[in-house]
Amino acid sequence: MNEDARDSFEEDDFQEAVARFKKMVKSNTSKYFDVFEVEGIIDHFLEDGRIKLAKKAVEAGLRLHPTSISIKIRQAQILMHEGNLEECLELISMAEKIETNDPELFLTKGGALNLLGDVGKAVEAFEQALTMPIDDPDETLYNIGISFGQAGETHLAIKYLEKAHKANPENEIVLYELGYYCDKNSQFEESIAYYDKYLNIDPFNHSVWYNIGITYNRMGMFEKAIEAYDYSLVLNEDFLHAHFNKANALANNNQFEEAIECYLEYVLLDQENDDAYCYLAECYLNTDKYSEALVYYQKAIRLNDTNSSAWYGSGLIMWSEGELTEAQIFLKKALSLEDDNADFWSMAAKIHAELNEEKEAIDSFEMATSLEPENIENWLSYSEMFYDLDDTDRAIEVLKTANKINKSNAFLNYRLTAYLLDKNEELEAVCHFEKALKIDYSKQNELFEFYPEASKIESIKKLISQYQTTKL
């Protein structure tokens, strides 16, 4: 509907037309509506998500005005909404042969092509639409941006939303979506900048403050995240997500006691979130309150017995208390639910080792290190198992394998130094020690804490002195 037509179609007339149409459908009769009325009726139902009524309006409109391109465009939009993309494009193609100057035609075409994954042609269609007179260019550019955003084309979403912002710097919804998609694209500073612009217009939007908290949390700026969540909660104290995310940010900032308080507030409001109980339990673990942690892991399991983290956490507590058989039961359940989790396999390996189940321990460590070969702690634990069994050769073999995968890791080389010294292979040990010093001189105590005798070896002392001079 063009601007002049809209001006001639007053709101009262529009409401009256919708009411007449509803009455017609209910009574199963026929009434006359001009093209502009039909357009308005269809748009009304589409905006309300009442697709069935929108389709009825299209059918009625085409009976009255079979050559109307504007009604056929809306028919195509309904087909796109229903996922009938090929039919939508066929209808658009037919309409293009008659009408080439309607921007809605090319906007609909672009939307359908985008949903089909043909981004290049979608861009062409959208750009063609933008060459034509458009009543609200910022709204059109916004819709194009959202279309790309929903299709996962975040960079294109940002591109068109930025154009929308230039067309109307005061459009709040554009600023909101720019903040969201910049965050999604890891453009964190830009995201904060757009959210700040939004707050300059409306400082009391709790959702914007909440989103700022999310972005700061992703940036690792946890104190700023907590502050943003606090603002959000001042504006809407019942905002569950803000309570939850504030607790997460507090935990990320190692403020476990405060996080516990916040999680407890949250679970009072939402008692059905099993993940929240797990996070609460983890905070209790970090404050050495194992019994409290177990209570909440068990609550999570009662809510959702497929929550692998809750089974794992319960197993971790049992293991820490020396209840190896019970720990193993929990771990087996966790692994049955999530068998590609390296942490689960690592703990299973340690339990097997303590139970003298060497083959099972080896198999579990192999799984853990294959799933996360960059996890140095798992390699060290694997090697320690052999070292504790007085099989230093195999301990060395494990770390040499790890060293090939994780090049330039100081911890691996300091530990290799210890094992080799224990085997009286001083020459090779010194080579690894020198390599470790070059990588990270400050971590040399890793060697002496594990193998104190190293501090008495002259070749080791000489290298420390040499690299100390270099550092000075």
**pLDDT at residue 2 is higher than 70:** no
| Cβ atoms within 10 Å, residue 420 | 22
Q: Which of 387, 407, 427 is the last residue of a domain?
A: 407
**Segments of 52-133 assigned E as strands:** none
**Rg, the chain, Cα only:** 32
Task: Please state which of the ranges 30-34, 129-133, 179-183, 251-255 shows the lowest mean pLDDT.
Answer: 129-133
* Confidence (pTM): 0.78
What per-residue confidence (pLDDT) applies to 114? 86
Q: Which of 407, 427, 451 is the last residue of a domain?
A: 407
Residue 436 resides in a domain: yes
Mean pLDDT of the chain: 93
Residue 123 resides in a domain: no
Tokens of 166: 């230039």
Is residue 340 within 8 A of residue 356, CB to CB? The reply is no
Q: How confident is the model at residue 254 (pLDDT cuts 50, 70, 90)?
A: very high
Domain span holding position 461: 414-472
| Residue 396 sits in the same domain as residue 432 | no
DSSP 8-state code for residue 237: T
pLDDT in tens, 425-449: 999 999 999 999 999 999 999 999 9
Task: Please state which of the ranges 63-72, 112-121, 387-396, 457-466 shows the lowest mean pLDDT.
Answer: 112-121
Residue 388 resides in a domain: yes
| Residue 397 sits in the same domain as residue 367 | yes
Q: How confident is the model at residue 13 (pLDDT cuts 50, 70, 90)?
A: low
Secondary structure (3-state) at 423: coil
What per-residue confidence (pLDDT) applies to 471? 59
Residue 218 resides in a domain: no
| Residue 395 sits in the same domain as residue 446 | no
Q: What is the CATH number of the domain that holds 349?
A: 1.25.40.10
What per-residue confidence (pLDDT) applies to 451? 96
Q: For the residues 75-95, what does the mean pLDDT come to? A: 93
Task: Return d(Cα 386, Cα 324) in angstroms, integer.
Answer: 20
Is residue 61 within 8 A of residue 89, CB to CB? The reply is no
Q: How confident is the model at residue 12 (pLDDT cuts 50, 70, 90)?
A: low
DSSP 8-state code for residue 9: S
Secondary structure (3-state) at 253: coil
Residue 264 resides in a domain: no
Residue 357 resides in a domain: yes
| Ramachandran sector of residue 2 (left: φ over 0; alpha: ψ -120 to 50; beta: rest) | beta
What total number of domains does the chain contain? 2
Is residue 250 within 8 A of residue 226, CB to CB? The reply is yes
pLDDT in tens, 200-249: 999 999 999 999 999 999 999 999 999 999 999 999 998 999 999 999 99
**Percent of the chain at pLDDT above 70?**
96
| Residue 368 sits in the same domain as residue 421 | no
| Residue 381 sits in the same domain as residue 432 | no
What per-residue confidence (pLDDT) applies to 1? 43
**pLDDT at residue 5 is higher than 60:** no
**pLDDT at residue 8 is higher than 80:** no
Alpha-carbon 48 to chain mean position: 30
Q: How confident is the model at residue 139 (pLDDT cuts 50, 70, 90)?
A: confident
Residue 469 resides in a domain: yes
Dmax over CA atoms of the chain, in Å, equals 104
What per-residue confidence (pLDDT) applies to 184? 96
pLDDT in tens, 262-319: 999 999 999 999 999 999 999 999 999 999 999 999 999 999 999 999 999 999 999 9
pLDDT in tens, 349-378: 999 999 999 999 999 999 999 999 999 999
Q: Which carries the bigger pLDDT value, residue 178 or residue 144?
A: 178
Q: Which of 367, 383, 407 is the last residue of a domain?
A: 407
Residue 67 resides in a domain: no
What per-residue confidence (pLDDT) applies to 143? 85
**pLDDT at residue 129 is higher than 80:** yes
What per-residue confidence (pLDDT) applies to 136? 83
Task: Return d(Cα 71, Cα 65) in angstroms, integer.
Answer: 8
Closest CA to 146 of 163, 131, 170: 163
What per-residue confidence (pLDDT) applies to 470? 63
| Residue 389 sits in the same domain as residue 419 | no
**pLDDT at residue 53 is higher than 90:** yes
**pLDDT at residue 261 is higher than 80:** yes
Task: Return d(Cα 389, Cα 395) in angstroms, integer.
Answer: 9
Secondary structure (3-state) at 470: helix
**pLDDT at residue 469 is higher than 70:** no
